[in-house]
Amino acid sequence: MVDNIVKIEHDRVTNTVSTDYPGFHNDGQDYSWNLETFKSKFDIKISYLNERVANFDLVNIDTSVANAFRRIMISEVPAVAAEQIYIFNNTSVIQDEVLAHRIGLIPLKVDPDLLDWVDTNIDEKDRATDANTIVMTLDVTCSRNPNAPKGSTDPNELYKNSNVYARDLKFEPQGSQMDKLKTPVVSADPDILIAKLRPGQEISLRAHCILGIGADHAKFSPVSTASYRLLPTIDITESITGQDAREFQKMFSTGVIDINSSGEAYVKDARRDTVSREVLRHEKFNGKVKLGRKRDHFIFNVESTGAMSPEEIFFKSVRILRNKADYLKECPIGN
């Protein structure tokens, strides 16, 4: 039987490599990949899910596939961001190029499947259409507040529009976009501060937003972060009781080790462990505990920028990987 536990020792990590290629182990058994076998073993467990964050497990899957999902979510799932900024007036202290950069990094809530890709093979002046480009406008002028409280020094009370936020970006529908998109395009985080203004200062611009992928620019990446870690394993090989049990408990993250009614330490939730290896530095626990990580159990954490939900990002990564596999199957040998 293949040992799929990466062993954590006090000065090294062992059993890190056990395959020549995914699904093959040189132990005389047949590990050739089989779809039905994979379907019977593979499992997805969702631990936490909301509009911005998803924490889930992929169980009994190869590292290469898990890492492919991670990389695709970061760099190949398309999203919409400002690409061209046309500045008509900017008398703020923010330089034009810095202002354009800030607006480009604001995530927009829009389904990328509703837009077409910009055709770079046609003339630049003809590329933007209502099918591939979303126009956002920003027109803000700062002025004094005639009703400001006497003696106030708060700019929010003294001036009107002293702060320019992402919510001030307004969707300007083109053609049939309102029927196609159903709802106006807005910033995923309306409170993002773009600039500060003082009386007489003004910003007026138009932003053309298009589809893109994170591999081209980070502004197109739909995730703030997408990462995974292997499931920790903790095996207590000898009974640990009394004061030793309490000391043992403190060497792990909160909630990992608990003590039963008999005063004996036991593993309550290995998932919470950060694998600090602190327990391996103490001679009294030498040989009493084994630490490891399960090689084929991946704990994913996906944080969305707000452009789309984290589960949608993952589903799109699956679709992209499937399309890649279909392309390779149909691609003639040698091309």
- CB atoms inside a 10 Å sphere around CB 89: 12
Identify the H or E element spanning 13: strand 13-14
Handedness of CA 102, 100, 224, 306 (dihedral sign): positive
- Helix runs in 28-114, H state only: 35-41, 63-75, 96-104
Distance, C-alpha 306 to centroid of its chain: 10
**Distances from the Cα of 236 to the Cα of 232, 241, 263, 285, 294, angstroms:** 13, 12, 14, 10, 16
pTM: 0.87
CB neighbour class for 109 (10 Å; exposed up to 12, middle 13-18, buried from 19): middle
pLDDT beyond 70 at 24:
no
pLDDT beyond 80 at 33:
no
- CB atoms inside a 10 Å sphere around CB 72: 23
Mean pLDDT for the stretch of residues 251-255: 93
What are the pLDDT digits (tens) for 192-228? 999 999 999 999 999 999 999 999 999 999 999 999 9
> Which residue has tokens 């395959």?
19
Beta-bridge partner residues of 138: 205
Handedness of CA 61, 65, 71, 75 (dihedral sign): negative
Give the three-class secondary structure for 52.
coil
- Residue 104 zone, left/alpha/beta (φ > 0; ψ -120 to 50; rest): alpha
What are the pLDDT digits (tens) for 289-305? 999 999 999 999 999 99
DSSP 142: -
pLDDT bucket at 23, cuts 50 / 70 / 90: low
* Residue-level pLDDT at 335: 56
pLDDT beyond 50 at 1:
no
First to last CA, the chain: 39
Mean pLDDT for the stretch of residues 183-189: 93
Domains of the chain: 5-76+225-237+288-300 (3.30.1360.10), 79-220 (2.170.120.12)
Residue 222: both structure tokens together: 């739909």
Nearest to 134 by CA among 189, 190, 76, 212: 212
Structural contact between residues 168 and 194, judged by C-beta atoms closer than 8 angstroms: yes
* Residue-level pLDDT at 246: 94
Query: To the nearest whole number, what is the mean pLDDT of the chain?
Result: 91
